[in-house]
């Protein structure tokens, strides 16, 4: 294989979730994809479908993650898809609740980005943070999740400024309500009906990631909101 025919490489966290899996399937058409998740069975199935390389990892394990990223010699695309969204109000949230959600939603993406930043600079790569409408507006009953998504967007904004001299592209992609297991669990916790026909399809989010990755080299897409076709006011 010649240098010109080598496929670009992408790394996707949260690969066993609804959005993460769809993103892996989409990018695998053109990229060598590393799919990161905690479920060995789900990753094995995804790898069989797509040819992706499975990394069975807890992304909050900085040392374990560093051992794997040290194996990389190239990285063109990094998609931060892993997140949790347990329902907590200020009254009910404990310090442990805050630390758990921030560890997965903010601290782990920041550390993984730091670990692979030299490779992204070399490739002038693209970093996609899967944010949320909660990154720009309050979501009742989700004090920690809202705060974490605001923090993630703030981190992405600073990263974009700091890395522009290296031509690394950084985008926050913020989907609204998407038909995933996470939203189904949230709806059950809050006692609200689950109406998948009203929500965004994970494949539509994945197609938007494709649009970002394939953007013309002279542009920098920064903040993309993907909302349900008919807006749902409760989030």
pLDDT above 70 as % of the chain:
93
pLDDT of 3 > 60? The answer is no
Q: Where are the domains of the chain?
A: 63-226
Q: Which of 107, 129, 145, 199 is catalytic?
A: 145
CA atoms of 58 and 60, how far apart (whole Å): 5
CATH code 3.40.50.720 for 63-226: yes
CA atoms of 44 and 30, how far apart (whole Å): 20
pTM: 0.91
Residue 78's pLDDT band (cuts 50, 70, 90): very high
40, HSE (Cβ side, Cα atoms, 13 Å): 0
194: annotated active-site residue: no
Residue 233 pLDDT: 61
Closest Cα partner for 30 from 2, 66, 65, 6?
6
DSSP assignment letter at 104: I
Closest Cα partner for 143 from 87, 82, 83, 191?
87
pLDDT of 210 > 80? The answer is yes
């Amino acid at each position: 294989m010649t240098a010109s025919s080598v496929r670009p490489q992408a790394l996707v966290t949260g690969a066993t979730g609804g959005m993460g899996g769809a993103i892996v399937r989409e990018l695998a058409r053109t990229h060598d994809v590393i799919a990161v998740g905690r479920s060995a069975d789900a990753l094995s199935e995804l790898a069989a479908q797509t040819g992706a390389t499975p990394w069975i990892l807890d992304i909050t394990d900085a040392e374990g993650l560093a051992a794997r990223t040290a194996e990389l010699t190239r990285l063109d695309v990094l998609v931060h898809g892993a997140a949790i969204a347990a329902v907590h109000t200020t009254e009910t949230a404990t310090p442990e609740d805050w630390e758990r959600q921030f560890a997965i939603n903010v601290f782990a993406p920041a550390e993984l980005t730091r670990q692979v930043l030299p490779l992204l600079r070399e490739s002038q790569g693209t970093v996609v943070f899967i944010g949320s409408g909660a990154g720009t507006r309050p979501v009742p009953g989700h004090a920690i999740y809202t705060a974490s998504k605001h923090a993630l967007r703030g981190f992405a904004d600073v990263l974009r400024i700091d890395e522009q001299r290296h031509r690394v592209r950084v985008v926050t992609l913020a989907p609204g309500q998407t038909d995933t297991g996470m939203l189904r669990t949230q709806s059950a916790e809050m006692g609200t009906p689950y109406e998948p026909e009203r929500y965004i399809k994970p494949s539509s989010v994945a197609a938007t990631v494709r649009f970002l990755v394939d953007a013309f080299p002279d542009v920098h897409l920064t903040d993309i909101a993907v909302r349900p076709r008919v807006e749902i006011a409760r989030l």
